[in-house]
A and B are shown apart, each in its own frame.
Chain A
Amino acid sequence: MALVLLTDSKTHHILLQKIDLLKIALTIAEATACIVGFRYWKKLKDTYWKFFPVYLACILAAELLGRYLGYKKLYTANLALYNYFVIPLEILFFISLFYRTFSTRSLKRLSIIVAFIYMACWFSEMFLLPKVSSFWVGALSYTVGIVTLLVLILSYLFKLSSSDEIVFIKHNMMFWVCMGLFVFYAFSLPFYGMYNYLYKHHYNFYLTYSNIIFFLNYIMYGLFTLAFIWGKPKSSFS
């Protein structure tokens, strides 16, 4: 029995070490996307896309701060950083990106509506509803935010597929960003939506899927990097 426990704890330790490596790789992926964004600043500076590398820099800084807080075992502060800053910034930034990209009034209105829905959920969850868990509070608002983002992504892709702009898809920045967001959010939503449950009842499964989430993140930041390299932000559509 003791041996089994020892093996389990050893495996757990290896898993955590592996996650540390994956975290470093994630930071590198984020930094690459951010640096490439600033590298192509010239073509972005006169469009709303100039905020994208700035956003990536903010996310990178927040992630590094989060890593530091985790290292110092300040878990509550780390949680607050994500719940009150990183996640709302992520979701609202992308909603605003869609708002600027959409050319029709109905889709612009849809972006505003989903932004309000998300903010209402976030506000009620953070300040009104009783706290469900001590380590992951924002599961509801996060789920709502991601679902709304997925609605915007699908609306954009549907509109793109029916327009002639699909011919120049390679140079369409929003297309690459959408693909990145879809890959990450659609596959991570079930995980984050059931985060509390998986953490409590299926810890090993939670750890395995965490690895997958890292790879989804790499794909997303890789696609953001491609958007900066191939994209032509002054084209009529994006």
Chain B
Amino acid sequence: MGETEIIIFIALVSLAIIAFVVMTIALLLQYRKKKMAYENEKKQTEALHQTELLNVKLEVQDETMQHIGIEIHDSVAEKLTLASLHLQHAEYENKYPGLNEILMLSSSLINESLDELRLLSRRLLKQGDEQTDIVQSLQRECNRVAQLKICLVHFISDCSSIMMDTKVANTLLRIVQESIQNSMKHAHCNNISITLANRHGPFTLTISDDGIGFDAVVADQSQGFGLKSIKKRAGIIGAELIQTSSPNNGTCTKVILTQKNDLF
């Protein structure tokens, strides 16, 4: 009789131990599972929020550009046309023969400005559905930077022309501009190379310099606005961004467009 009672006692204590262990493990596993799901959801929401924010920014930017385009077309261009007509009239009447050459020069200058303004206005207004040649845009950008004579700029492309959505092309152009600015401002480099590859494999844009470089780990922790904005821009167009750098070994920024069909 005595032994039975002790066995019951031990069995009950063992049961309590087993129940406690099972309960704790089950709770821990469930906690881990839910915590991971929660963290993922949080990250996704944050990413979504960032994308929405950037989209709103882009929309506002587009609206502003359209507004500026309309203003240029309707107001500034109209006034300049009027000024050009006045000048042509003055030239035709030949009241001041000594000033004729100046009047002609001014008139042609105004007409050139008008053409440029109209082109600008058209670009600003039709930005949404236009296609842009990224090779040409990049070539222009390289020429512009080369004229500053701060460093040498090399541009290499395996295609003579790549047409793509203007928004994507502009974003790529901004990434290039930001990278070049970083290279010129912080890297103290002599050469900047911009390479475009599209023929074999995915569209890849590479911007590299031979400057002082930076410690990738330190830069990752204290990302400045330039690096952040490059990352954000790449995120908007769904591009993969690879930035490699180490002290005294220059910097290389690679933008790879994997979802080609959506963008071209």
Contacts and interface: CB of A to CB of B under 8 A. Distances in A.
A194 B35 CA distance: 42
23 contacts: A154-B23, A161-B26, A161-B27, A161-B30, A164-B34, A166-B34, A167-B34, A167-B35, A182-B20, A182-B23, A186-B19, A186-B20, A187-B17, A189-B12, A190-B8, A190-B9, A190-B12, A191-B9, A194-B8, A194-B9, A197-B5, A201-B5, A202-B6
Contacts of A31: none
B16 interface: yes
A99 to B, nearest CB: 22
Nearest to A212: B13
Contacts of B35: 166-167
A16 B30 CA distance: 44
Contacts of B26: 161
B38 A167 contact: yes
Contact of B31 (A169, A191, A198): A169
B2 interface: yes
Contact of A201 (B2, B30, B34): B2
Interface of B: 2, 5-6, 8-9, 12-13, 16-17, 19-20, 23, 26-27, 30-31, 34-35, 38
Contacts of B34: 164, 166-167
Interface string A55-88: 0000000000000000000000000000000000
B16 A189 contact: yes
A166 B38 CA distance: 10
B149 to A, nearest CB: 58
A157 interface: yes
Contacts of A197: 5
Contacts of A160: 27
A182 B17 CA distance: 11
Contact of B16 (A167, A169, A186): A186
Question: Most chain-B Cβ atoms within 10 A of its Cβ — which of A166, A189, A191, A198?
Answer: A166
A58 B82 CA distance: 95
Interface residues of A, number: 23
Task: Tell me if A's interface is mostly helix, strand, loop or mixed.
Answer: helix
A117 interface: no
A25 interface: no
A167 B30 CA distance: 9
Task: Tell me if B's interface is mostly helix, strand, loop or mixed.
Answer: helix
Question: Most chain-A Cβ atoms within 10 A of its Cβ — which of B9, B19, B31?
Answer: B9
Nearest to B33: A166
Contact of B13 (A161, A169, A187): A187
A180 to B, nearest CB: 12
Contact of B12 (A193, A201, A205): A193
Contacts of A110: none
A188 B241 CA distance: 61
A183 interface: yes
A187 B12 CA distance: 8
Contacts of B12: 189-190, 193
Nearest to B9: A190
B5 A167 contact: no
Question: Most chain-B Cβ atoms within 10 A of its Cβ — which of A157, A183, A190?
Answer: A190
A198 B6 CA distance: 9
Contacts of B6: 202, 205
A21 B131 CA distance: 86
B126 to A, nearest CB: 49
Given A190-B9, A194-B9, A201-B2, A166 B16 contact: no
A160 to B, nearest CB: 8
Interface in A160-186: 160-162, 164, 166-167, 169, 182-183, 186
Contacts of A162: 30
B32 to A, nearest CB: 10
Given A161-B26, A182-B23, A166 B31 contact: yes
Nearest to B17: A187
A161 B33 CA distance: 10
A230 to B, nearest CB: 15
Contact of A190 (B2, B13, B31): B13
Contacts of B27: 157, 160-161, 166, 169
Contact of A194 (B5, B16, B31, B38): B5
